[in-house]
Amino acid sequence: MTRKAVKGSVIADLLAENPIQDYEALDFEFPDEHINEVDCEEEGPADVWEMYFDGAVNLSGNGIGAVLISPDGKHFPIAVKLRFDCTNNVAEYEACVMGLQAAIEMKIRKLEVYGDSALIIYQVKGEWQTKDLKLIPYQKYLLELIKKFEEISFTHLSRDKNQFADALATLAVMDQIEEGQMIQTLKIKARSEPAYCFMIEEEPDGKPWYHDILVYIRTREFPPGQ
């Protein structure tokens, strides 16, 4: 059945015939009239940075890479070519140390460190111990750097999730840069259209390509000769 409309007077009569004994009128006074706005602070890791590191050792040479990511998503990549012989584990330690040193110079206090070297991650966390004489000095120095942070954590990643740092390390290996030289930060952008789509031909009359469209929107008149 179709529901019929109820007149407002019927509801008013019902409320009048059935008063509420303990009714209290609403108080619409606002005691803090001088307050214009109330802000709610959001709790979250707003000041926590991320760091990814990796090392590369192959026949072409040795290189290390690290990237620091700010809370608002800005990337600060670092790549260094190592001009001395080293093992994979030494290169990983060099990359981690380089990243932490950069973070300290940038006065970062809270840091989440990610790397695909299980050896370094678990040694720093105290779950593994090393007997390699080449790695012991690195481990001690890394523990000293950790003390300079207010909060720091280490997490092991799979290699496919650490590709940016790996690419930086590989780039350092391939580069023929000489000692003491420096290359400006590499800029990487994302683009969804081919380059020729951004080509805009200059109009012979000096007016922008959208001039006729703008005139039509304003006057509802077509250009002469159309």
217 has a pLDDT exceeding 70: yes
53 has a pLDDT exceeding 60: yes
Mean pLDDT, the chain, whole residue set = 78
Strands of the sheet containing 75-82, edge to edge, are: 75-82, 61-69, 48-58, 110-115, 151-156
Residue 53 contacts by C-beta under 8 Å, 6 or more apart in sequence?
64, 65, 66, 67, 92, 95, 96, 98, 99, 113, 114, 115, 165
44 has a pLDDT exceeding 60: no
Closest listed residue to residue 162, CA positions, set 82, 108, 99, 102: 99
Quick: pLDDT tens for 111-144.
Answer: 999 999 998 899 888 888 878 888 889 999 999 9
- The answer to whether 92 and 30 have CB atoms below 8 angstroms apart is no
41 has a pLDDT exceeding 80: no
* Predicted pLDDT at 195: 66
- The answer to whether 50 and 162 have CB atoms below 8 angstroms apart is no
Q: H helices then E strands: how many in the chain?
A: 6, 5
* Predicted pLDDT at 31: 59
Q: What is the dihedral of CA 100, 104, 110, 112, to 10 degrees?
A: -10
**Which residue, chain included where needed, has tokens 């259209």?**
193
Could you tell me the pTM of the whole model? 0.63
Measure the CA angle with vertex 63, ends 60 and 64; round to 5°: 160
**Which residue, chain included where needed, has tokens 């159309």?**
226
Which of 223 and 75 is assigned the larger pLDDT? 75
Q: What is the dihedral of CA 220, 224, 225, 226, to 10 degrees?
A: -20
What gap in Å lies between CA 9 and CA 27, rounded to an integer?
26
What gap in Å lies between CA 43 and CA 25, rounded to an integer?
37
**Which residue, chain included where needed, has tokens 């750097």?**
145
Least confident of 2-16, 74-88, 101-115: 2-16
69 three-class SS: strand
Which of 177 and 51 is assigned the larger pLDDT? 51
Phi, psi of 62 (to 5 degrees): -125, 140
